[in-house]
Chains A and B, each alone.
Chain A
Amino acid sequence: MRHDGYDDLLDAIEEGNGFYLACPEDHGSLPPRRVCPECGSRELAEAPLPDSGEVVAATTVSVAGPQFADDAPYVTAIIDFGPVRLTGLVRDVDGEPDPGTVVGVGVAETVTTGDRVVAFRPR
């Protein structure tokens, strides 16, 4: 099932044109969104997502839900891109990346369902 906004973002990241939503006060948020959650502004415009960010925190998940059963163990992390933070799988690393590690953003498929997922790789 397609989720407008969210799947548009994944499409854009796949094409190398990731974006976020910026309000006139420069608060960042992610679609789908009609209102800036910080200031309530309804004037949201797409702005380019920086193509790399820094690891805020990471964990190796060993006990997964059914959607990720065959992926476990996997590393998931929150990445700081400045205006927004994004959560996703971290691929091509041994163990968890340390906070501050620079990663690029892309889209990958899960092992279990083949669904698209936000994925980060070291730069």
Chain B
Amino acid sequence: MTNVRIAGTGLTPFGEHSGRTGRDLFAEAGLDAVDGAGVDPADVDRLYYGNFMGELAEHQGHQGPLVAEAVGTTAPATRVEAACASGGVAVREGVEAIRSGTADVVLVGGAERMTDMGTEGATDGLSIAADDLYEIGAGITFPGAYALMASAYVEANDVDADDLAHVAVKNHGNALPNEKAHFRSEITIEDAVEAPRVATPLGLYDACPISDGAAAVVLVSEDYAEANDVEAPVSVTGTGQGGDRLALQDRDSLWRTPAAEDAAAEAYADAGIESSDVDCAEVHDCFTIAEVLATEALGFFEPGEGLAAARDGRTARDGDLPVNLSGGLKAKGHPVGATGVAQIAELTELLAGEHARSDAVENASVGVAHNAGGTVATATVHVLQAEDAEVDA
């Protein structure tokens, strides 16, 4: 099985791109990734593209060939839809295409155009990741669903929901030097705690913004990299995906995310690492509580202890396990289909020492990306390792 290398990355700024089409956003990120990789677009064997709400936002289905055309290829192109995990699943498809030997160069990307829908339209669009009959019909919004998970977490573990503010403050701070981030402003614990509630106990600062944007990475086989002198010091060494019942009401626990636990176990075994080997992580913090649940599912903290760990600074830039150095979805933004791919791009730059926050993880060799769909009915985990990284198994 061939090693899968990351040859190039591309990101548009995340934020408001009023009037721009998804195809144009993707073309910007995709061409950046291809150019940075030094790969001829004609060499692209496959394209996997994450997108969630293209029909609602842009009246556009069948986006695979549309975005392939936008970057100058007619390679077989497939749109991948797994709600907010669309990008992560697209990355996994790309990794598996190379590992199976059917492709040497895969362009993986994702984009979402959301801000033109307005708050009500985007709230409606995001909600369709839930069960239409039993959840949306019962008034569940995306923030509402995570609010129920947060309520259950607080109740089960006898902790203070106000402590979630530490996650928001940290991620806003991490995003300050990130030129691609949607929010580049510091906030205080007080700002977060006193902000209006969106769905109790979650307030305005517990939620990620509605963003437009695109992300892309070029994956290549080791053989291709060596034959074509492609510089690609970071590899994807592990991939995992897990699933769960769609509706929150049908889960055994409202605050455990077994889909992510399964994805992590699979990805760690694939890479031959353990959670204690991880130097930094980009996790799916669509809401502050989601980051807490992610750090537990990834095995960094015991179930029920993630919130205290965040409050105590263990996931901060100077903590023992920095999480979301990019700013995360919370401050960097969450153009849904792009998110899982953007995490890979940010981690690649962090591990290569080329990120605005690389100084927080000097000599880091192992990074992990966690991407969740809906209320974590889908989850992907990817392990990235810098070349010649020494890992204690």
Contact = CB atoms under 8 A, between A and B. Distances in A.
B136 interface: yes
B143 A78 contact: no
B148 to A, nearest CB: 4
Contact of A58 (B124, B135, B151, B198): B151
A117 B147 CA distance: 20
A99 to B, nearest CB: 5
B198 A6 contact: no
> By CB atoms of chain B within 10 A, which of A37, A67, A68 has the most?
A68
Interface residues of A, number: 36
Contact of A118 (B138, B143, B144, B197): B138
A92 B141 CA distance: 21
Contact of A86 (B148, B149, B245, B249): B249
B227 interface: no
Interface of chain B, helix or strand or loop or mixed? Answer: helix
Nearest to B118: A66
A66 B148 CA distance: 20
Interface in A20-61: 29-30, 37, 56-61
A120 B336 CA distance: 33
Interface in B135-157: 135-141, 143-144, 147-149, 151-152, 155
Contacts of B201: 59
Interface in B141-187: 141, 143-144, 147-149, 151-152, 155
Given A65-B124, A69-B120, A59 B134 contact: no
B133 to A, nearest CB: 5
B249 to A, nearest CB: 4
A63 B198 contact: yes
A67 B143 contact: no
A71 B133 contact: no
Contacts of A96: 151, 200
Contact residues on B (Cβ < 8 Å of other chain), bracket: 35 or more
Nearest to A116: B137
Nearest to A118: B138
A64 B151 contact: no
A103 interface: no
A76 B140 contact: yes
Contacts of A67: 124, 136
Nearest to A71: B139
A66 B120 contact: yes
A65 B134 contact: no
B136 A60 contact: no
A117 B139 CA distance: 9
A41 B120 CA distance: 40
A84 B250 CA distance: 8
B192 interface: no
A85 B121 CA distance: 28
A64 B136 CA distance: 11
A6 B367 CA distance: 44
A88 B284 CA distance: 27
A15 interface: no
A74 B152 CA distance: 18
A112 to B, nearest CB: 10
Nearest to B254: A57
Contacts of A30: 134
Given A58-B151, A61-B147, 19 more contacts: A37-B250, A56-B152, A56-B254, A57-B149, A57-B151, A59-B144, A61-B198, A64-B139, A66-B121, A68-B139, A69-B120, A76-B138, A76-B139, A77-B148, A86-B134, A87-B134, A96-B151, A117-B137, A117-B138
5 contacts: A37-B250, A61-B143, A65-B136, A85-B250, A86-B249
